[in-house]
């Protein structure tokens, strides 16, 4: 019972903390949740890394057009980014796929091929097909 109450309280405190963040802090937090560097994230939203850095530190305003671009290219919720309310990502499934793709991109060619073979084996096993 204590563990459950502790986790609930901890989750509520984290939610409150996220809500108190500025839009700039939420942008940084979401980028890190996606396991992306500033350079990777900047490329994804079609800006220079320096531009993203200035948005993250609050030196540059994040206008509604940029919020929309960030939403469309990363799945970060517009409402969450602007206000801190709601879910961080529009679709948890889309976020999980994006996270897997971002991790995959970091692999060298040998491990990319290994990952693909393992994934096929898992799917075949799950479907009852053994090669």
Asked if residue 120 is part of any domain, the answer here is no
State the Cα–Cα distance between residues 128 and 122, nearest whole angstrom: 10
Asked if residue 129 is part of any domain, the answer here is no
Number of domains in the chain: 1
Residue range(s) defining the domain that contains residue 12 = 2-90
Q: By three-state DSSP, how is residue 44 classified?
A: helix
The enclosing H or E element of 112 equals helix 109-126
End-to-end Cα, the chain, rounded Å: 47
Asked if residue 101 is part of any domain, the answer here is no
Q: Which backbone phi and psi does 31 adopt, to 5 degrees? A: -60, -45
Q: pLDDT tens string for the chain (131 positions)?
A: 445 555 555 555 555 555 689 999 999 999 999 999 999 999 999 999 999 999 999 999 999 999 999 998 898 999 999 999 998 988 755 667 778 888 888 999 999 999 999 988 888 887 776 54
What is the pTM for the complete model shown? 0.60
Asked if residue 107 is part of any domain, the answer here is no
């Amino acid at each position: 019972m204590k563990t459950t109450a502790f986790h609930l309280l901890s989750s509520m405190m984290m939610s409150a903390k996220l809500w108190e963040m500025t839009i700039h802090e939420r942008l940084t937090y979401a980028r890190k949740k996606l396991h992306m560097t500033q350079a990777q994230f900047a490329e994804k939203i079609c800006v220079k890394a320096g531009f993203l850095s200035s948005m993250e530190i609050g030196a540059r305003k994040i206008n509604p057009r940029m919020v929309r671009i960030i939403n469309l290219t990363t799945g970060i919720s517009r409402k969450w980014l602007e206000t801190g309310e709601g879910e961080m990502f529009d679709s948890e499934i889309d976020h999980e796929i994006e996270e897997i793709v971002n991790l995959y991109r970091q692999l060298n060619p040998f491990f990319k091929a290994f990952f693909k073979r393992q994934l096929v084996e898992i799917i075949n096993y799950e479907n009852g097909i053994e090669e």
